[in-house]
Amino acid sequence: MKIAALQMVSTPDVARNLATARRLLAEAAAQGARLAALPEYFCFMGLKDSDKLGVAEPPGAGPIQAMLAEAARTHGLWIIGGTLPLVSPDPQRVLNACGVWAPDGSLAARYDKIHLFRFERDGAGGRERYDEGASIRAGRQPTALAVDALRLGLSICYDLRFPELYRALMTPPCDLIAVPSAFTYTTGQAHWETLLRARAIENQCYVIAPAQGGRHENGRRTWGHSLIVDPWGEVLAVRPEGEGVVLAELDPARLAEVRGQLPALSHRCL
């Protein structure tokens, strides 16, 4: 199965972001992808964190979800819809939700981000400060699903730092883990590839990590480096910055080979 990680540099304009996502999904399908994954916040990068409240959609309704369903039907794709803000029970906070749309346009699964990023640092470029908990309500439930003959596990950005989530997803083992992200430039430069390769190696599965990658209109710079990693930890494809499509082949025989030669998943004791 050919899979595609789509890299974007999203803006505060939902319509413009949706147009970019449509184009990239079409490019991925034209290049033979069966599954395509968008980055975290592909649909909206506001001028401030609370702007998400103004574009949040109810589950199952709204232009962002409609676009993803229509693109899946049009191209016959499995689409991992990055993340979008959904209305939550707390009127001051949204859910940061990753939906998966099947090729018939139906919603196959939804995962709400569990771990919420907080970071503060004084640097040469000034003070960096992020606190997702101020505008996002945390999810609670790990989520995996069947995609054709494969098992797909869902995670989002900061979840990457918590290996216990991925262990929870590995019963039974996932063949592919998705990590749509908007890593900061600072944390991405230090840890992004190392953590993604570690998750692939320890769980003996493919990892697809579509990311935001560049300088945004709100002044934020994201790390990018959207990539696909194989179960041995080899980076198969990567795009450093700027929008584009990252393609690689998910080979079930490679999964079986790695797990057969080094059956670490069956050696787990805890």
List, by residue number, the catalytic residues.
Answer: 40, 113, 157
Name the token pair of 72.
Answer: 């899946």
The three-class DSSP label of residue 176 is strand
Rounded Cα gap, residues 244 and 51, in angstroms: 26
Give the residue carrying structure tokens 């990018």: 224
Rounded Cα gap, residues 205 and 207, in angstroms: 7
Residue-level length of the chain: 270
The three-class DSSP label of residue 46 is coil
